[in-house]
């Protein structure tokens, strides 16, 4: 059915204007004023902002990790994402050494196919580079449209790859046109520090942070960035948490290296002291990299404002407090790492960022949607509001005040990491390819309606548009 969005303020990464949007066949067919179409349903966005649907480039749904499986799957996770204004996610497909990549991708298709209520793509984890992997990667790109590879520099004996694997992945990605993503922490030194802490009887959640110091994130970020420069390849550093890592990314970019950085709401709002909460509550705040000392938050906000960090991912990786996080009650290394964020990503950035004057409205759109679309081969189909793009839209009330809480969220977990945080702003209605998924704050979507996205190759040129210049 045709729809016209009227009376709202349209916001893209470049512009803010009063306008109307005509939607036909799931696409935006006109942007203008006084639009008419016979039989069109009118969506009244009076008093609201109209954003391109959020793109979350970093989720872990239905993922085995830390001796358990993330609580949110592709159904609950994407429903929660939609309530929060996210209309596309890119999830991490885990691979197993020695197994064909296509098996892992098949597993992720099975997890998502009949469940997702918004559109989705996959990044592919690279744990080894050998002839079989090299033979398969061109097919992964051509047939699956998976154009981003993830290498873990941490989680020794679990996901961690060595430097040779990272470097060869960068070289391969350069040839194939893929973007390499890294979890940048020095896993070897962390392994030593965690064993030492446990041997000294230090088992509480705070030791998770104390054994993963910021220096080790900075070191790994700098190492990966240097490798990217040496390989002439492209690198995206996920979940940047601290000043040391920002400094390395900024330095690499100033040298002209094609290096990008993502941070997440938890690092902007929460800090290391949360891990000291009594009654083991600190386990709720165990992420890797860990929450940092509070002063890092200003550095991260400044990096978002100045463009040294370019995206906001959620790193959604949710575990119940009861029955999952408490696997580590006697040993912090057994606390599953990660938290529930997928739903609150836009609201937190809008409230803490735009409303508090830290970033502009257009930067908000770029950080939550447009830049991810450009980096991960989805632009301009996704990530903006223009004729010809998918009608993925968020009708957002910028003035409503509310409190984030597990009692009202839609994620499947038994706690909210931002419990009690007052935010201003909330999505009212959310459309994916012109169809409501959330209408007047009610879920009206259908599991399985989300489409798998084959993504285009990484292009450095796409990163530069008329009204922006990069320091690279
Ligand atoms: O603690 C985290 N970040 N859990 C998710 C897995 C990862 O490292 O991204
Ligand atoms: Zn990670
Ligand atoms: Zn992650």
* pLDDT 10s digits, 220-272: 999 999 999 999 999 999 999 999 999 999 999 999 999 999 999 999 999 99
Of the chain, the percentage scoring pLDDT greater than 70 comes to: 98
pLDDT at site 471: 36
Measuring CA to CA, which residue among 453, 465, 470 is closest to residue 148?
Answer: 453
SS3 437: strand
Ligand nearest to the CA of 337: 1
Interval between CA 59 and ligand 1 midpoint (Å): 9
Other residues' Cβ atoms within 10 Å of the Cβ of residue 223: 18
Q: How many residues does the chain have?
A: 472
CB 197 within 8 A of CB 207: yes
* pLDDT 10s digits, 5-60: 999 999 999 999 999 999 999 999 999 999 999 999 999 999 999 999 999 999 99
Interval between CA 150 and ligand 2 midpoint (Å): 9
367 has pLDDT over 80: yes
Q: How confident is the model at residue 1 (pLDDT cuts 50, 70, 90)?
A: confident
Q: What does the longest C-alpha to C-alpha distance in the chain come to?
A: 74
Q: Which protein residue has the closest C-alpha to ligand 1 atom 2?
A: 338
pLDDT at site 470: 36
* pLDDT 10s digits, 443-454: 999 999 999 999
User: Which atom of ligand 1 is nearest the CA belonging to 286?
Assistant: 1
CB 159 within 8 A of CB 127: yes
Q: Which residues line ligand 1 (CB under 6 A)?
A: 60, 183, 239, 287-288, 315, 317, 337-338
**449 vs 108, 115, 134, 463, CA distance in Å?**
16, 8, 33, 30
Whole-model pTM: value is 0.98
Average pLDDT, the chain: 97
Alpha-carbon distance of 32 to 22, in angstroms, equals 8
Interval between CA 59 and ligand 2 midpoint (Å): 10
122 has pLDDT over 80: yes
Ligand nearest to the CA of 338: 1
Measuring CA to CA, which residue among 237, 293, 236, 301 is closest to residue 265?
Answer: 301
Of the chain, the percentage scoring pLDDT greater than 90 comes to: 98
Per DSSP bridges, beta strands 258-263 and 311-312 are parallel
Q: How confident is the model at residue 464 (pLDDT cuts 50, 70, 90)?
A: confident
Alpha-carbon distance of 358 to 350, in angstroms, equals 10
CB 267 within 8 A of CB 240: yes
Q: Which protein residue has the closest C-alpha to ligand 1 atom 5?
A: 338
Alpha-carbon distance of 367 to 374, in angstroms, equals 11
Interval between CA 252 and ligand 3 midpoint (Å): 22
Ligand nearest to the CA of 212: 1
pLDDT at site 285: 98
Measuring CA to CA, which residue among 245, 211, 215, 224 is closest to residue 179?
Answer: 224
CB 346 within 8 A of CB 420: no
Mutate to test the pocket of ligand 1, among 56, 184, 288 (most ligand atoms within 8 A of CB): 288
Q: Average the pLDDT over 135-158 and give the result.
A: 98
Q: How confident is the model at residue 86 (pLDDT cuts 50, 70, 90)?
A: very high
SS3 244: helix
Ligand nearest to the CA of 151: 2
pLDDT at site 465: 58
pLDDT at site 469: 39
Residue found by looking up tokens 């197993």 in the block: 96
Alpha-carbon distance of 404 to 406, in angstroms, equals 7
SS3 455: coil
140 has pLDDT over 60: yes
End-to-end CA distance of the chain: 44
Across 249-284, b (16+ Cβ under 10 Å) vs e yields: bbbbbeeebbbbbbbbbbbbbbbbebbeeeebebbb
* Three-state DSSP string of 369-426: HHHHHHHCCCCCCCCCCCCCCECCEEEEEEEEEEECCCCCCCCCCCCCCCCCCEEEEE
Interval between CA 387 and ligand 3 midpoint (Å): 33
Residue found by looking up tokens 């941070």 in the block: 263
């Amino acid at each position: 059915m045709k729809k016209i969005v009227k009376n709202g303020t349209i916001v893209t990464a470049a512009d803010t204007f009063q306008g109307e949007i005509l939607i036909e066949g799931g696409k935006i067919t006109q942007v203008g004023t006084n639009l008419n179409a016979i039989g069109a349903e009118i969506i009244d966005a009076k008093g609201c902002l109209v954003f391109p649907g959020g793109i979350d480039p970093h989720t872990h749904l239905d993922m085995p990790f830390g001796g358990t499986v993330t609580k949110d799957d592709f159904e609950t996770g994407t429903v929660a994402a939609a309530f929060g204004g996210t209309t596309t996610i890119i999830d991490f497909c885990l691979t197993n050494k020695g197994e064909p990549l296509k098996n892992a991708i098949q597993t992720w298709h099975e997890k998502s196919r009949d469940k997702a209520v918004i559109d989705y793509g996959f990044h592919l984890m690279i744990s080894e580079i050998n002839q079989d992997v090299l033979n398969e990667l061109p097919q992964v790109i051509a047939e699956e449209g998976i154009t981003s590879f993830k290498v873990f520099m941490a989680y020794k004996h679990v996901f961690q790859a060595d430097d040779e694997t990272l470097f060869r992945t960068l070289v391969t990605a350069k040839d194939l046109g893929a973007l390499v993503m890294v979890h940048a922490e020095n896993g070897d030194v962390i392994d030593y520090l965690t064993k030492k802490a446990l041997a000294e009887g230090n088992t509480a959640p705070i030791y998770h942070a104390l054994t993963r110091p910021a220096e080790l994130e900075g070191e790994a970020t700098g190492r990966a960035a240097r490798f990217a420069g040496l390989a002439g390849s492209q690198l995206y550093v996920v979940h940047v948490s601290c000043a040391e890592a920002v400094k390395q990314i900024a330095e690499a970019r100033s040298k002209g290296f094609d290096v990008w950085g993502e941070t997440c709401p938890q690092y902007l709002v929460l800090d290391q002291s949360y891990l000291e909460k009594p009654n083991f509550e600190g386990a709720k705040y165990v992420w890797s990299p860990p929450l940092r000392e509070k002063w890092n938050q200003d550095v991260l906000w400044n990096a978002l404002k100045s463009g040294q960090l370019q995206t906001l991912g959620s790193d959604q990786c949710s575990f119940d407090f009861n029955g999952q996080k408490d696997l580590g009650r006697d040993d912090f290394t057994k606390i599953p790492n990660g938290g529930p964020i997928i739903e609150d990503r836009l609201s937190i950035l809008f409230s803490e960022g735009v409303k508090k004057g830290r970033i502009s409205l257009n930067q908000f759109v770029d950080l939550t949607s447009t830049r991810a679309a450009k980096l991960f081969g989805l632009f301009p189909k996704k990530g903006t509001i223009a004729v010809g793009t998918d009608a993925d839209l968020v009708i957002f009330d910028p003035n409503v005040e509310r409190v984030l809480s597990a009692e009202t969220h839609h994620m499947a977990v038994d706690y909210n990491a931002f419990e009690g945080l007052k935010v201003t702003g909330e999505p009212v209605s959310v459309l994916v390819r012109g169809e409501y998924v959330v209408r007047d704050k009610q879920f009206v979507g259908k599991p399985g309606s989300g489409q798998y996205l084959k993504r285009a190759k990484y292009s450095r040129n796409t990163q530069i548009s008329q009204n922006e210049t990069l320091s690279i």
